[in-house]
Structure 1
Amino acid sequence: MGYLVGVLAVGSGLVGAVLHAANAVAGRDVEPSFWLLAALGAIAYGSASAFLGARSRARRVAILLGAIGLGQGLSLLLREYALLGDAPLDWLALWIGSWLWAPAYIATAALLPLLLPDGALPSPRWRPALVLSVVALAAEAVWWALLPYHLQDVPIVVRELRNPVGVAAAAAPVVLGVIATLTVAAVALALASIVVRWRATTGDRRQQLKWLLVGGAATVVVFALGLLVPPPAGEVVAAMGAIPLPAACAVAALRHRLWDVDLVVSAGLRYAVLSVVVIAVYAAVVALLGASTGAPVIATAVVALVLLPLHARLQRWANRVVHGEPDDPGTALARLGEQLAATSDPADVADRLLPEVVARISGLLRSPYTAISLADGGIVAHGDRPEEVDRVPLAYGGAEVGALELTPRSRSGGERRRLEVLARQAAVAVHSVLLTREARRSRQLVVAAREEERRRLRWDLHDGVGPSIAALALQAETARDLVAVDPAAATEILDRLVPRMNGTVAEVRAIVHELRPPTLDELGLAGAVRELGTRFSGADRRVEVALSDLGELPAAVDLAAYRIISEALANAVRHSGARNVRVRVERDGEWLRLEVTDDGHGIPADAPPGVGLTSMRARAEELNGRCAVRHGADATGTVVSALLPLSLEKESR
């Protein structure tokens, strides 16, 4: 239906233009101020209607646009037909053409805003406004239909034809006041509906409304320029005002992501204000200088002097209105960087700063939806997520740490560069958040491992050493009781008690060894590592140990180093099939460096980290150090490296 109405509108506009040309060539009375506006309106609105008609979700909008275009086209066609001269029913054609245009024109301001962009009212509460708009359109049509031709604002003079139902009373001020009141009220409510939609919507729908604002503003500006420019050029300029609004309606109704609207709005605001200023300054200078021959030249020079500095100021103002960019974008970026640098607590970055970064970027770019997705699956969002988003990768240290997601739209080169700077700033915050979360997970692992170790120790003492000592105490009491009555039996019990006591002592030593190997206290870390190398060496395996002067080490550091080296050697023996293993330990300033390298088959790329690897990392991170496991040279073997802090400050952080 919408397609058919649109085609009829375009056809009527074209036929009306042809009839106008024929009348002009024949020298008949024509209306130069009406025909071009009506023809362009019929073609523009009809084309938009036909374009949308094949799309089911835009049919209501298509029919409305087509009806507006058809009203203008038929009005032109019928009026030009009546000018042909003695045509059949020319009086009826002229009468219909004299009023059919009115509801079509009024509908662009009183009805379209109520129903765009999807053909539905903002809510059921707006039905009275719809009724008022329909009443206003009908009243305008009836009023123009009853108004005698010679009393209309542009009198219609076609031979001896008169309005067959003309009533002079229709031109009374009271009638005109009622009609004007209805029309103004309907237009005001329709425009208010746009404001209500704007406040209640975000994302895609707000972008659609931006297109409507662009089209409406362009229409008003072009019409205003047409009034300021002397005829006949002004009539041509005013007629061009029929094009922007239907084009914007078509784009908005399609819901295609043509986000260039922000660029159009920015440029439109800038040049609309410039146009008004140019005309005003030019007119003022000419008026002051009077009709002198040099007035236009002087006026042009004054306009140029005003225009150059004004353009830059308007550019910044339009950018702030549309994109939210500050006068100096670098200032906002610097403030963002200072906020990042001033946050020393990583937990504060994770819990407070990242949402503020997202909100700041959303404001800087005026993006209805802005989000940062992290590499670990987390996301911090501002606004409602549209169906599609622009994704900007966030990289730190050559690795992707997340992505910045924005509402899709086209961006100029300067905007893209600004976005790149913002992305680098955001990457710093994201990297801090990921480090914070990883540290939290590591601390949780350390706490869990410590509690597990305490539970195992409790079980070992309760289930192993405890019963053994209790049994030894019971046997000792029995021997004491037998000493006086049966010395031989008491001696036999004591003989059995000695090896059992030795076994219990060994059991206690084993538990103590798990807590802290005695060799560390007896031999130091260097001797304990050499002892490990000897223990893990064999007939088909050689373990080489290279040690620098380690000096005195904090107890927590030498224990962590010993456990990491021990676990790495155990993995090389059990899992890699290595024949040569090299252990290197050296002191590097305030750090202790460890490295265990083997020539085994390495760790498969898809292998999940086991308990041993997790334990090594946890021991290093507990001291604010780090431990890494990687493939060796030429992707063979395995390298376990660790860096542990030696100073008490680093150790206690």
Structure 2
Amino acid sequence: MHRRLAWVLAALTVVLAAADLGVTSVYRPLLSEEAVAVHGVPFVSIAVIGCAAMGALIVARWARHPIGWLLCLIGFTSAISLLAEAYSVWVVTADGPGPRSLGGIAGWIASLLGGQLSLAALAIVFLVAPDGHLLSRRWRAAAVVSAVGYGAYAGMLLTLSPSEYNVDDHNLGPVGSLLSVVGLPFIAGGLVVAMVSTVVRLRRSQGEQRQQVRLIAVSAAFIALSFVYLIVVQTINGGHQTWLATLPLYVSYPCLPLLLAIAVLRYRLFELDLIINRAVVLALGTIFAGIGYAGLVLAVAGLVNLGTSGFWVSLLATALVALAFQPLRRWVVRLANRLAYGVRALPYEALSDFSRRLAETPSPVSLLSGVAEAAGRAVSAQSSTAGLQVPGAEWISKSWPRESDGPPEWEVPVGHGDETLGSIGVTMPKGRRLRPVDEQLLRDLADQTALAFRNAAMESELAAHVVALDATTGALAESRRRLVAADDATRQRLESAIARDVLSHLAPIPERLNTLHVAGSGVAAAAELEQLVASTNTALESLRELTHGVFPTQLARSGLSRALRSHLARNGTVAALQVDPAADRRFPAGVEAAVYFCCVEALRAGSSAARIELAIVGEDLVVRVRGVARGGIDVQSIVDRIEAVGGTPHLDDPLQLSVNIPVKIPV
């Protein structure tokens, strides 16, 4: 119910504001100076709509929040006042529809619900903002003063005839004059006291509430400065209300409900420090430039009796003001920091300077002195120390303002996650201890330092990965060279095998054929021919075996143990082959090929009495070749082939090659 009523008031305010613009546009252009400077088009319309809308938003969240209802009241009554004032001016000055008495009544209603009511309501808003409660019971007097002031003002209006009311000519009697004297000063006094209450609340508040009150104080200060500006400009131009004089005040009106709603709803409060800081610097700079420019122009014009060109006077004044502002710039910035950050302005200036140094200096080691200095200056310590452990380097420690003789009195660790990178320690002057806010400040500094040094650690890790990648690249290049060398060795071995096993049988054939031709026929010739055929068959069989490559066809067809027996029988060696029954079965093709190569390579360089053993131990295929000559085998080729199938070769002393290859043993 409360929320619906608030939104209904907001909707009615929009309708009334639109009607006000429509009525005003009938008898004067909306962009004329009278419409903008006197009636406030369109700023006041935006302000009243903003008050009603922001009040409805607050009520939608907290149905009984007094600030929400006060804003709704200000927006709704101000919209009625605007429409009534527009109609009254239309009837009285522009012969609008309706009798003169109706225009007077409209003007009387506009005065009753206009600015005085809004100012009194704003005084109460500032007294209870941001939580809806007074700072203490003593501040009730300020609310009473504002209410009495508006009551006196309304009483003054009641002494006048509504039908004959004229906003520019009040024929007040003794009672009306007395009430007028009481009403306006009381409303102004209540508003001033309400602003004082806001300042007191700002000094006492902390955390999120401080952010809320600070934003409310900004809105109040904006309106107060606009009023001062309006009074000064109107005093200079003879009381004439121009758009230049009223523009800052009219701009501050829409800002007021927006800032109040943000403060009460606590929306993105902690992003306002920088905005407040820059706004104060801009405002002070503008005030200094305006006063200085006006004073110099008047002074120069008076000295030369207006005989100098206006352009050159303006140019000279601008240059002198710019030069004069530079010595004051540091003071202005310091004042802005104090207003934006409170009593912690100077420590946070040290943190800000430290952050800039973090961004400018990539090396964390060179920033240790800056860390120590920032910590010491932030808490006004007698001395401070910063120590950090950079990956791959020794512990580094720096002190400020000079090397410390002993350990610091208070330390805060510098870490990232569960990893401790170092510490920051301070020693306070005698008789002074660290406050909780100082401890929190040092923790913030440690967080910034940890981030910088964590980046350095990541950089070190990346450098280590690059080194490892270079090593891997080198290993791959070395492996490629080994593969090329192995290919060359295989070709040479094949050539030697052809010369030994094939050509050795084929080379004597021409000579033996000539001998057979001379011998003619007979038993001897038949025996020689039979030997010649046997030698040729042996050469062809060896050639067929060699053309199948390193691994014979029998390995893929019959398995490892049978291929090894065939190789031993074909080469006529006496090497024994002992196969465990569990190992006399088929294994993966890669495993069988690797073991066959290992055994053949070891036998080629071994003694004639070498011995081969195949067994299953646990889940490994274990191969042992005894009687191996260590210096005669290609160890790297054996290692490459065995490791390719997940095995581990061992060349044990004195004369034994052992290979363990994990294999899946069926149950």
Structure having the higher Rg: 2
TM-score of the superposed pair, with normalisation by structure 2: 0.48
Q: TM-score, structure 1 length as denominator?
A: 0.49
